[in-house]
Structure 1
Amino acid sequence: MQLVIISGLSGSGKSVALRALEDSGYYCIDNLPATLLPQITSHIGQQQRLAVSVDTRSAALEALYDNIAHLRAQGVAVQLLYLESNVETLVKRFSETRRRHPLSNEHTTLAESIVRERHMLEQLAEHSHRLDTSDISANTLRSWVRSFVSHDHSGLTLLFASFGFKHGIPLDADYVFDVRCLPNPYYDPALRPLTGRDLPVAEFLQQHAAVDRMYEDIQQFISRWLPSFVHDHRSYLTVAVGCTGGQHRSVYLVEKLAAHFQQQQQKVLVRHRQLGEVHDSMYRTNK
């Protein structure tokens, strides 16, 4: 049996993620008390794929970790997916929908409720694959969730993500590399509408020695420390590379890094936050 547990902050997109799994053939349950996890897995008949939403609304949240260990001991493949967003985005979403935050009351502001909820779930976040939904659309989130559940979760997956600093640093990154110091294809009118996945942009960046030095530094750093994360039994290591807009330089370097580690037989997943893409690699020849 495959069990996906979706958790995270209120307003971060858990309902969207759960519906995406339902559309993918999962039997889905929203807001299940943690104590019922063992029982539900033994009473859903022939269903082999189950998705459950568990968050601060769920009763007996403190029992979740023991029940996950119990299920894994029984051979259930449990995957934890944690969704989060920055405070500003969550405040905007609650304001637009006029929904009430589950922890809000007459004594706390919405922002204070969000911070409190993040604190309550921080232990769960540490043991989950995290997705920052601050700056992505619902369609992109659905795509990322489907990619997550279809990926091979045995061993460590190295996840490379490009992003634009002007849109904020992703919350789910383990390492963040700033490449805004590199030559920028944006200032070439012919390259401006393209991305780092397009061959003309790659050719432009390959002309500059600084780009190669930056790539070598990042690649060597990850290569040096990756065995330590494998030894620590990590499921995911997220490396974020950022440029100003998240369209050219960071995308190019993420693609090149992903190709290198794929050649080393490492499991790799690629996300381009500002492009709204998740894929495997590499450069496109079309303009």
Structure 2
Amino acid sequence: MKGISLNLVIITGFSGAGKTQALQSMEDLGFFCVDNLPPTLIEKFVDLCAQSQGKIDKAAIVCDLRVGDFFSSLNQALNDLESAGYKYEILFLEASDDVLVNRYKESRRRHPVSPKGNVLEGIHKEREFLADLRGKANKIIDSSDLTVSQMKEKIRNLFGKDYDPARMSVSVVSFGFKYGIPLDADTIIDVRFLPNPYYLEELKPMNGKDTPVRDFVLSNPTTEEFIKRFFAMLEYILPLYLKEGKSHLVIGIGCTGGQHRSVAVTEKTAEFLRTHHYSCVVNHRDIQ
């Protein structure tokens, strides 16, 4: 297996979180895709890719609890790949409990972990069972509020033409704490201590991308000191994440409503990351 030039992405996560949509999007990007592959067959699959003589240079596999007892061998299969010096990425799909329950109600399908029990019980069991695997994931997508087209865009941003597993990309998400913390965030930054434009009538209807709001937030001495310390922390930790093999990091920046302060700081953070040659995607979740 050594020396094989193959970008391998293993897609897993919660039942109903959108793994099928993700796989279809990967296929649109030119990945050779296989759904519901038992872990014991992953090594054989890689061997077949090697025999393609370069015709298959990137592949995606969905491996989840539908394979039943076979799924318990996934950790061993991943260890075998690592022992052979082979690299892979894990894309983990998740969603909130209420969203998953509603999706199962709409589809009228049984949950694979609790086929004879209630759906919520199956979801809770699945969360417990997949906790360690989620911790190993290189990339995590929370599909709770994503439409099909937004899911495709997420996949395209992560694995599109600029995809390079040896290079870390960073997603910066602005959000409002009153709407909840993004589930897929690796790091949360709370900027509710910054001066709030919401209380100024002329700035209230604007957002952090508008120049008057941006200037109000970023020119404040408290913000300037925070930005200096925050960016120094990023300069220190990002190379360490990359050294540990993390290829994608999600930074959530939150204020009360997600319209003013978090948006302005997120835009400033994206500028900083791009000047330091990180691939950066910005998402203002609650700007509206």
TM bucket, shorter chain: 0.7 to 0.9
For 2:272 and 2:145, the matched residues in 1 are separated by 28
Contact 1:4 1:80 in 2 (8 A): yes
Shift in Å, 1:137: 2.4
* 1:173–1:29 Cα change, 3 Å: same
Once superposed, what is the RMSD of the aligned Cα atoms? 2.8
- The correspondence of residues 70-219 of structure 1 with structure 2, limited to 5 A, is 70-71=80-81, 77-106=87-116, 108-128=117-137, 129-150=139-160, 151-154=163-166, 156-186=168-198, 194-219=206-231
Greater displacement, 13-22 / 108-117: 108-117
- 1:283 maps to none
Q: Decide whether aligned partners of structure 1 residues 171 and 197 sit closer, same or farther in structure 2, where only a CA change above 3 A counts.
A: same
Q: 1:68 aligns with which of 78, 88, 91?
A: 78
**Contact 1:255 1:270 (8 Å CA) reproduced:** no
* Cα gap change, 1:76 to 1:226, in 2 (>3 Å): closer
CA distance in 1, matches of 2:268, 2:159: 25
Distance 1:207 1:261 in 2: 20
**Are residues 130 and 67 of structure 1, via their aligned partners in 2, closer, same or farther at CA, if it must alter by over 3 Å?**
same
Aligned counterpart in structure 2 of residue 10 of structure 1, from 15, 25, 31: 15
Contact 1:245–1:274 (CA under 8 A) maintained in structure 2: no
What is the DSSP-based 3-state SS (H/G/I as helix, E as strand, rest coil) of the residue aligned with 1:146?
helix
Q: Deviations over 1:156-192 (max 9, x none)?
A: 4444222222321112222212223333445566655
Task: Give, as a single letter, the amino acid of the residue that structure 1 aligns with 2:110.
Answer: R
State the aligned residue count: 274
Q: Which residue of 2 aligns with 1:270?
A: 281
Pair 1:52-2:88 in alignment: no
CA 1:69–1:146 in 2, change beyond 3 Å: closer, same or farther? farther
Q: Which amino acid aligns with 1:43?
A: L
Q: Is the 8 A contact 2:8 2:59 kept in 1?
A: yes
Cα distance in 2 for partners of 1:57, 1:22 equals: 21
How much has 1:231 moved relative to structure 2? Answer: 4.8
TM-score by length of 2: 0.81
**Does 2:27 match 1:22?**
yes
1:34 positional shift: 0.8
Q: One-letter code of the match for 1:15? A: T
- Distance across 1 between alignment mates of 2:242 and 2:48: 35
Task: Determine what percentage of the aligned residue pairs are the same residue.
Answer: 35
Q: Counterpart of 1:281? A: none
1:259 aligns with 2:264: no
Q: Distance in 2 between the 1:97 and 1:186 partners?
A: 42
1:255 and 1:156 map into 2 onto residues whose CA distance is 19
Distance 1:12 1:201 in 2: 36
Kindly provide the amino acid, as one letter, of the partner of residue 241 in structure 1: I
- Aligned residue in 2 for 1:282: none
Contact residue 247 and residue 274 of structure 1 kept, 8 A: no
Distance 1:133 1:183 in 2: 32
